[in-house]
Structure 1
Amino acid sequence: MTHGYTTGTGTGPEPTPSYGIPQQRATDPAAGATDPAVGATPPPPVVGAAPPVAGAAAAPKPPSGRDRYLDLLRSIALVRVVAYHLFGWAWLTVLFPSMGVMFALAGSLMARSLKRPALGVIRGRIRRLLPPLWAFSVVVLAMMFVGGWNPVKDPDNGGTWGLVKLINYIIPIGAPPYPWQIGSNSGLLENTWAVQAAGPLWYLRAYLWFVVASPLLLWAFRRAPWPTLLAPLGLTAIVGTGLVTIPGETGNAVTDFAVYGGCWVLGFAHHEGLLKRIPRYLAVSCSALVMAFGLWWASGHLGPDGWDLNDIPLAQATWSFGFVVILLQYSPSWQELPGRLARWDKLVTLSNNRAVTIYLWHNLLIMATVPIIDQAYNLPFMESERATAALDSTYMLWMFFLVWPLIGLAILAFGWIEDFAAKRSPRLWPNGAQRARTRRGD
């Protein structure tokens, strides 16, 4: 499987930049009590909540404010996404399955919010998701059109259908069209930049369908928790192994839903308290077996990039599922980051408040580092072969360090749209510093 939406196996993998790195589809978007895809803390529960899982003890009362453990997990997931898309290291998908973690956190928050009327919750989630997408779409589509792309004449998306598919840049219900080649390799951005920029939009599609399906999924989970929890793994074994093939983007969407559906429902289990009822030794032991199966399956079905689990749906689903169970079993529900982790508090807060902005823009910003770093070759001391060789050998590291200031600029330029979408007062740099000063009485 390769990148974007136009591949035939669609496991929701992550596209890597094409700077000599094999390409995949984009994954890996996305607060303690903040939904990664909407960047807003859900309102507190109200009276009239649905009954708990059958046979399960009442869910533990969550601490007031944000769960900083979940915030930390989301921040780690975002950093891992950026690193993977830049370096393309397959082992990162094993080290930390970011998308499984992010879908699980979003599922937990969705279950919390569904104590209110479902239609209002869905409307609120969609409202918070769309304005940041629109800002991104305006910029990317303008760049494509200026670069000479005509969706009507596109050989892959041509005619009226190409125009109709542009709606996915407004409401991500399907796969957005984009040119596979635009510009030239000698241009400001290399000629597959559109593929890389639009690749991460698969996550918004998957998230949107999970949100819409959540009232039904939560209803099923509360009546039959274990079948609902394990059903996505069974579906992945059917549609993610070639046993049943669904062609085109419908197949991609179904496979994405199956692969990460178990993690989404694990978020329900976390919120409802089901995971806490399982003895930790049993949960960890069973999770280890599920993860071992995932690695065993991957070993016999390696893709073009080896152990990249994004190319192996069943391995991705089982490894992510077991990994998330262990993370949520050990969930300490911190109200503040403890010990040395406290030094990262502001960055964790910022990344959670701007998770959508970071996820949407990071791939395009990774590519933007290239023309900036290339200017270094024009410096006088770079006439030395040793200096040129040193820059060549450390090029990717310079990209990694440079992309974070660029992401910071994107947060300043576009991040406030997340506040607007959530009907909050716009903030340029919401890292919690003002709240901390207020708490100290400064």
Structure 2
Amino acid sequence: MAAQGPVLADGSNLTSLPATGTSKRDGLWDSIKAIAVLRVIAWHTWGWAPLSWFGAMPAMFLASGALLAPSLARDGYALTLRNRLKRLMIPYWVYAGTCIIWMVAHGWHPTTAELLRWLVPVLDPTGPERFAMLWVPLWYLRAYIWMLIASPLLLRGSRRGWLVPALLLVTGSLLPDSTPLVVGDMVTYSAFVVAGMIISSRGLPSIRLCTALGISTAAALGIGLATGTIPLVVNTTYGATALAGVATSALLLSLRTPLRQLSSGRVGAPVTWIGSRALSIYLWQGFGLAVAAGWIWSTDWPRIAKTVAAGFVVFGVTLLLAEALGKVEDLAARRPPKRSHPIILIVFLSLVILISLTNIPTRADGTPVIASGAAILRNAQRVTEGPPPSTLSRPLVDPGLIVRRSQLWRVAEEFVSTHEDDLAAASSETFEFSVRTN
């Protein structure tokens, strides 16, 4: 009897799938990607610490692994790498070219090395701190490219079962603060890619197991937050990021039935659209954040008004740009682009004018007044200068105080009173305290 390849969750053989673009796509992954990318934008917009407790990027990499494994088995490494890089790089180059032109028009004088980073983002693209919202989130593309390059090794690791992602998570949690971002991200997030590959070959774990794992890791995260062993912004350590990622991914998988219904029910069309446009949405959020920085956060409106208005602006600009420019993503993926309503073209041209007129206000020292969301500036410093020693695992408040009072509202009170000046100056930002942006 001929040997059969790995079996998918629906019982089909991994090596007998139809050609690219014709295989049945599990709506679960579209729903997970849609939820994750919207959470990312919300975090970048407002920077509220509880948003970081939802491990969006681990969930994104989990979905990527689940979708990547069948392609590798069906098409082989070389063809998969070429197709995936084409689908990734063409939309990215459109975005990168727009960013470079916009930043140069606003006074940036890039070096050859900086331009090369933008051309081939195997290292983090960089630019002026003033425009950090455009380039700091691109760490995700850098990490994903390295995942693609290493995908044969990751696929081989997935065949050894759940021990491999567990070891990767433990290793990532033990990395010292001085670890370069490229290495730390690769170790930590590859665990979720491998987990997705395992799911694609062995099927989804039982709902009961996912629920138990999700609740137990969420409880561990909550205890860590309450005792101060985990900072309120969990993105500041790889260990906390991994813990939040496991909790989030497991709970999402335990909700597989409603999530599949979400991608096929009344709201199925927008969920599927967001899932298919996840890359464009992730990229063009940078200009949504820039518009909010120049036109909303810099005003003297009441904080609640700025918070609400920034949400409408960031999400509105991002989704409209993704709709107008997402055709590039369709062409790169060899999908027939759908014709947009003429009103989209009119709105798009209006956004081009608005963006061209946007100016990011700066302080006397040249740093931006705001970063349109969470820890963009701190992460920008980490990208350009490397991780400062002994900062990644530092709690935001005194753990002894938490143990003595044992009340989370006391933690919030301590945090606000300690950093009142920073919060007042930066509106709703937390960029002084976080080094991750997703």
TM-score range, shorter chain: 0.5 to 0.7
Question: In structure 2, the residue corresponding to 1:342 is in which secondary structure?
Answer: coil
How far apart in 2 are the matches of 1:122 and 1:151?
Answer: 30
CA shift at 1:330, angstroms?
A: 4.2
2:167 to 214, 217, 231: 231
Query: Given the superposition, is the C-alpha separation of residues 144 and 346 from structure 1 closer, same or farther in structure 2, using an over 3 Å criterion?
Result: same
251-260 vs 106-115, which deviates more?
A: 251-260
Unaligned runs of 5+ in 1: 1-47, 153-162, 181-191, 378-387, 431-442
Conserved? CA contact 1:65–1:335, under 8 Å? no
* Structure 1 residues 382-432: Cα deviation after superposition (integer angstroms, max 9, x where no partner): xxxxxx86x6531220121233332243124321110121123333459xx
**Structure 2 residue corresponding to 1:67, chosen from 17, 20, 26:** 26
Q: CA deviation at 1:205?
A: 0.5
Q: For 1:278-297, what aligned pairs fall within 5 Å after superposition?
A: 280-297=207-224
Q: Tell me what 2:188 maps to.
A: 259
When structure 1 is superposed on structure 2, of 65-74 and 140-149 the one drifting more is 65-74
Cα distance in 2 for partners of 1:164, 1:371 equals 28
Aligned partner of 1:157 in structure 2 is: none
Change in CA separation of 1:293 and 1:370 when aligned onto 2, cut-off 3 Å: closer
- One-letter code of the match for 2:268? D
RMSD of Structure 2 on Structure 1 (CA): 3.0
1:287–1:326 Cα contact (<8 Å) kept = yes
- Map 1:190-339 to 2 at 5 A: 192=130, 194-222=131-159, 224-239=160-175, 241-242=176-177, 245-246=178-179, 251-273=180-202, 275-276=204-205, 280-297=207-224, 306-332=231-257, 337=262
Residue 361 of structure 1 aligns with an amino acid whose one-letter code is W
Partner of 1:420: 331
Match of 2:267 in 1: 344
Letter in 1 for 2:234: L
Give the match's secondary structure for 1:150.
Answer: coil
**Which residue of the other structure, out of 37, 47, 58, is the alignment partner of 1:78?**
37
Change (3 A) 1:367 1:51: same
Same amino acid, percent of matched pairs: 28
Counterpart CA distance in 2 for 1:60 and 1:138 is 42
SS in 2 for 1:177: coil
Q: Of 41, 56, 59, which residue of structure 2 is paired with 1:101? A: 59
Q: CA–CA distance in 2 between the matches of 1:275 and 1:412? A: 32
Amino acid at match of 1:176: P
Q: How big is each residue's C-alpha offset from its partner over 1:61-102, in whole Å with a ceiling of 9 and x where there is no partner?
A: 3697332232222211122111111111110121x2111111
Counterpart CA distance in 1 for 2:52 and 2:250 is 17
Q: Note the C-alpha offset of 1:360.
A: 0.5
Indicate conservation of the 8 Å contact 1:49/1:115, yes or no: no
Aligned length: 330
For residue 409 of structure 1, the aligned residue among 300, 306, 320 is 320
Q: Tell me which of 77, 82, 91 is aligned to 2:50.
A: 91
- Provide closer, same or farther for how the CA distance between residues 49 and 393 of structure 1 changes in structure 2, counting only shifts above 3 A: farther
Give yes or no for the alignment of 1:173 onto 2:134.
Answer: no
8 Å CA contact 2:287–2:317 kept in 1: the answer is no
Give the deviation of 1:367 after TM superposition.
2.5
Answer yes or no: is the 8 Å Cα contact 1:75–1:352 preserved in 2: yes
Tell me how far apart the structure 1 counterparts of residues 114 and 174 of structure 2 sit (CA, whole Å): 28
Q: Give yes or no for contact 2:225–2:232 (8 Å, CA) kept in 1.
A: yes
Separation in structure 1 between the aligned mates of residue 221 and residue 4 of structure 2, nearest angstrom: 34
| SS of residue paired to 1:133 | helix
SS of the residue corresponding to residue 175 of structure 1 reads: coil
Q: Residues of 1 paired with 2:313 and 2:289: CA distance? A: 8
* Structure 2 CA distance for aligned equivalents of residues 333 and 114 of structure 1: 29
Name whichever structure is richer in helix by fraction. Answer: 2
C-alpha change, 1:313 and 1:348, in structure 2 (3 Å) is same
Q: Unpaired segments of 5 or more residues in structure 2?
A: 18-22, 342-438
TM-score in terms of structure 2 length: 0.68
Cα contact 1:173–1:209 (8 A) shared by 2? yes
Aligned residue for 2:123, secondary structure, equals coil
C-alpha separation in 1, matches of 2:246 and 2:260:
26
Q: Does residue 1:362 correspond to 2:285, yes or no?
A: yes
- Describe the superposition over 1:250-286 as per-residue Cα deviations: whole angstroms up to 9, x where unpaired: x11111122222221121122112543xx54444334
In structure 1, how many angstroms separate the alpha carbons of the residues matched to 2:185 and 2:294? 34
Helix, strand or coil at the partner of 1:130 = helix
